[in-house]
């Protein structure tokens, strides 16, 4: 994950997109990328889905399916193959769907390239120090600590130790009563 501390955006000539969410998001993104960055852009797709998005241009990129790389050896192989392709830019779909969650974060950490995140609304932002406030809000929102659910989530976290203590004391008393009766 290069360029985290830099706000510089490298050229869009070697791009990898991790399709870890709804395919419709990628269908909406790809035509714009091809139109803006033209024929000089090589775009590869990392996916778990069968088939390719309609907008994907196979003559200008390659598809990597994670199902073709099982186990630890497979993960090491795909990381080595992707590292050899020297990506400048990596895009990840971060919608509210638990698809390829471990894969996308593992690839974001191990592959070079500046990362942008695409959310379920089709909005995107760069993963760099210049966008730390957006990243923090995004993480808080995904963990339930922003918006209307924040008070309920914080209340649950605060009450958890007391609930656990109550249950342990209750279980201890029940077992002590049984031993006393026996």
| pLDDT score, position 4 | 64
Classify strands 63-65 and 89-93 as parallel, antiparallel or unpaired. unpaired
Q: Is residue 152 part of a domain?
A: yes
Q: Where are the alpha helices (DSSP H) in 16-100?
A: 23-37, 71-84
Q: Is residue 2 part of a domain?
A: no
- Is 13 within 8 Å of 88 (Cβ atoms)? yes
Say whether both 162 and 80 belong to one domain.
no
> Domain limits at 105?
14-142
Q: Is residue 25 part of a domain?
A: yes
Say whether both 174 and 137 belong to one domain.
no
The number of folded domains in the chain is: 2
Say whether both 83 and 166 belong to one domain.
no
State whether residue 45 is helix, strand or coil.
strand
| pLDDT score, position 7 | 67
| Alpha-carbon gap, residue 169 to 166, rounded angstroms | 5
Q: Is residue 121 part of a domain?
A: yes
Exposed e or buried b per residue across 70-83, where buried means at least 16 C-beta atoms within 10 angstroms of its C-beta: eeeeebeebeeebe
Helices 71-84 and 101-110 pack at an angle, to 10 degrees, of 40
Say whether both 120 and 159 belong to one domain.
no
> How do residues 121-148 score in pLDDT, each as one tens digit?
777 888 887 777 877 777 777 777 777 7
CATH of the domain at 75: 3.40.50
Say whether both 92 and 169 belong to one domain.
no
Q: Is residue 9 part of a domain?
A: no
Q: How far is CA 86 from the centre of its chain?
A: 20
Residue 47's H or E segment, with its range, is: strand 42-47
pLDDT higher than 60, residue 20: yes
> How do residues 26-47 score in pLDDT, each as one tens digit?
888 898 888 888 888 899 999 9
Q: Which one is predicted more confidently, 180 or 3? A: 180
CA–CA distances in Å: residue 55 to residues 29, 38, 43 = 9, 14, 12
Say whether both 86 and 158 belong to one domain.
no
| pLDDT score, position 176 | 95
Q: Is residue 71 part of a domain?
A: yes
Q: Is residue 22 part of a domain?
A: yes
Residues contacting residue 1 through CB under 8 Å, at least 6 positions apart: 108, 109, 111, 112, 113, 115, 127
> How do residues 76-122 score in pLDDT, each as one tens digit?
999 999 999 999 999 998 887 788 888 888 888 888 888 888 888 77
Say whether both 86 and 34 belong to one domain.
yes
Say whether both 41 and 130 belong to one domain.
yes
Say whether both 115 and 171 belong to one domain.
no
């Amino acid at each position: 994950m290069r360029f985290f501390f830099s706000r510089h955006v490298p050229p869009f000539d070697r791009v990898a997109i991790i399709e870890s969410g709804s395919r419709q998001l990628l269908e909406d993104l790809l035509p714009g990328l091809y139109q803006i960055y033209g024929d000089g852009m090589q775009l590869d797709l990392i996916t778990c889905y069968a088939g390719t998005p309609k907008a994907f241009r196979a003559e200008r990129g390659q598809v990597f399916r994670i199902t073709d790389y099982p186990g630890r050896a497979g993960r090491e192989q795909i990381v080595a193959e992707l590292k050899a392709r020297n990506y400048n830019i990596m895009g990840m779909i971060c919608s509210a769907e638990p698809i390829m969650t471990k894969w996308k974060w593992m690839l974001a950490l191990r592959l070079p390239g500046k990362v942008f995140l695409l959310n379920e609304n089709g909005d995107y932002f760069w993963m760099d120090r210049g966008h730390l406030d957006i990243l923090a809000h995004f993480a808080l929102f995904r963990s339930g600590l922003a918006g209307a659910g924040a008070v309920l989530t914080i209340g649950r976290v605060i009450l958890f130790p007391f609930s656990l203590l109550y249950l342990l004391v209750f279980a201890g008393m029940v077992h002590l009563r049984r031993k006393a009766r026996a």
